[in-house]
């Protein structure tokens, strides 16, 4: 069974409707595990942070022009590019005449709403100068967690790219309330990269990459050229956000870690470096390269681990903990110690160790909470007698189960 880090949550890749399926990463021969391989990148997601589209806290058309020119070069070489652009709130702050970034949800939403128009108009104007068309896609966490909406978003991205258009994605900040948000565009960018099955995610910011400590405070801080594995220690050492955007290094590193587990390479690099995109793709040692994990998680399990919102919890007894964590088994009714929440069959649930409450993973339940309540502790053969029916022997089948990396 695949082990994943419990800190990360990501995205499912569902079968496309009416489109040629992208190559499956699990079978893909494209191994972007070294910078030198990046020459082979065909499908690229670039995220541009708020600090890059603004200079002195004002939108800078010069910056947009520079990125538009770089994107046009890549498109000209036949690369497919999707852009994730922040800056709506920052643009709104400027447009509405506020002096600082708002802290209340209402004001942030108002700024995002006013600023998104300005942001897109800057992109449209500057891309047009390079004969590129763009399109706006605003997404929420719910859109990506919902199968139908997810498929629609994916198909729209694919259709646009096929027509040579650059999709520009941002979170729909105006409708997303704080608790239900993706929250930052580093995370959104990684979700889009997974959703679209990109070869590479380039996360551009105003720092040269990931440092050993905060370079704004520590003169000894050294740039890390390559990260083999994102673990808790690395996440703890990643700093917090700057004054303009939402994400700091933490969300950037977490996003890269999620994609590594999905089998995708990522880069964090300075968007102000001249021709940064072209140079990164040529394999130049700029920024921080996050190599994909050797063990590539299938798209469905990745979605299950990171994208879903668990509706309840199943607590396991000691035997089931061992069977699931160590032996990669399915969860049987006999291993259920307790059930919490009111979920339905087909809902995603969290699995915990009944003895210490430790989160073990997530899975798709074959039975509802009420039904599991009735069959917990029983043998599979006794399900029918307890419920009057039995459509599966397992409470959660191992194919629909993700166990988190227990070393954290």
Q: Which of 80, 184, 199, 394 binds ligand GLU (CB under 6 A)?
A: 184
Q: Is 274 exposed, middle or buried (0-12, 13-18, 19+ CB in 10 A)?
A: exposed
**Cα–Cα distance for residue pair 157/178, rounded to 1 Å:** 26
Site residues for ligand GLU, window 37-76 (CB under 6 A)?
A: 50
- 143 contacts ligand GLU (rule: CB under 6 A): no
Question: Would you say 140 or 400 has its CB closer to ligand GLU?
Answer: 140
- Smallest gap from residue 74 Cβ to ligand GLU (A): 23
Q: Which of 124, 173, 347, 353 binds ligand GLU (CB under 6 A)?
A: 173
Q: Which of 126, 170, 266, 350 binds ligand GLU (CB under 6 A)?
A: 170
Question: Would you say 183 or 283 has its CB closer to ligand GLU?
Answer: 183
- Smallest gap from residue 272 Cβ to ligand GLU (A): 17
**Cα–Cα distance for residue pair 361/1, rounded to 1 Å:** 12
- 32 contacts ligand GLU (rule: CB under 6 A): no
Neighbouring-strand partners of residue 170: 138
- Interface mask toward ligand GLU for 212-251; x: CB under 6 A: ---------------------------------xxx----
- 266 contacts ligand GLU (rule: CB under 6 A): no
Q: Which of 5, 66, 109, 185 binds ligand GLU (CB under 6 A)?
A: 185
Residues contacting 308, CB < 8 A, separation 6+: 9, 145, 348, 362
Phi/psi-derived region of residue 138, left when phi > 0, alpha when psi is between -120 and 50, beta in every other case:
beta
The answer to whether the CB of 313 falls within 8 A of the CB of 382 is no
At CA 158, angle to CA 196 and CA 8, rounded to 5?
15
The answer to whether the CB of 209 falls within 8 A of the CB of 288 is yes
- Smallest gap from residue 51 Cβ to ligand GLU (A): 9
**Cα–Cα distance for residue pair 351/323, rounded to 1 Å:** 13
**Cα–Cα distance for residue pair 174/188, rounded to 1 Å:** 16
Q: Which of 143, 171, 317, 371 binds ligand GLU (CB under 6 A)?
A: 171
* Site of interaction with ligand GLU (CB under 6 A): 50, 86-90, 112, 170-171, 173, 184-185, 245-247
């Amino acid at each position: 069974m695949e082990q994943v880090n419990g800190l990360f949550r990501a995205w499912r890749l569902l079968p496309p409707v009416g489109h040629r399926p992208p190559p499956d990463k699990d079978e893909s021969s494209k191994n972007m595990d070294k910078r030198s391989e990046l020459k082979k990148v065909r499908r690229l997601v670039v995220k541009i942070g708020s600090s890059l589209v603004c200079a002195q806290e004002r939108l800078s058309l010069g910056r947009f022009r520079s990125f538009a020119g770089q994107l046009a070069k890549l498109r000209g070489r036949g690369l497919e590019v999707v852009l994730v652009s922040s800056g709506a709130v920052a643009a709104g702050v400027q447009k509405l005449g506020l002096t600082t970034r708002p802290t209340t949800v209402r004001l942030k939403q108002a700024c995002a709403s006013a600023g998104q128009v300005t942001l897109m108009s800057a992109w449209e104007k500057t891309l047009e100068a390079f004969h590129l068309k763009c399109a706006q896609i605003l997404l929420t966490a719910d859109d990506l967690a919902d199968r139908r909406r997810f498929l629609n978003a994916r198909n729209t991205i694919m259709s646009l790219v096929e027509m040579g258009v650059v999709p520009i994605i941002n979170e729909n900040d105006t409708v997303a309330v704080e608790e239900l948000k993706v929250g930052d565009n580093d995370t959104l960018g990684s979700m889009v990269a997974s959703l679209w099955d990109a070869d590479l995610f380039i996360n551009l910011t105003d720092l040269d990459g990931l440092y050993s400590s905060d370079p704004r405070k520590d003169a000894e801080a050294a740039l890390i050229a390559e990260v083999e594995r994102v673990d808790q220690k690395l996440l703890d050492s990643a700093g917090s956000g700057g004054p303009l955007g939402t994400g700091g290094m933490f969300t950037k590193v977490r996003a890269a870690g999620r994609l590594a587990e999905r089998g995708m390479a990522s880069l964090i690099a300075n968007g102000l470096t001249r021709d940064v995109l072209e140079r990164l793709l040529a394999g130049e040692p700029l920024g921080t390269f996050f190599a994909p994990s050797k063990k590539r998680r299938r798209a469905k399990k990745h979605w299950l681990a990171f994208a879903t919102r668990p509706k309840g919890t199943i607590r396991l007894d000691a035997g089931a903990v061992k069977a699931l964590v160590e032996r990669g088994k399915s969860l049987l009714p006999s291993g259920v110690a307790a059930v919490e929440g009111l979920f339905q069959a087909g809902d995603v649930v969290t699995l915990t160790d009944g003895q210490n409450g430790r989160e073990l993973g997530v899975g798709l339940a074959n039975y509802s909470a009420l039904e599991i309540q009735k069959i917990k502790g029983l043998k599979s053969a006794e399900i029918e007698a307890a419920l009057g029916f039995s459509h599966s022997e397992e409470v959660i089948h191992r194919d629909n189960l993700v166990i988190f990396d227990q070393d954290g």
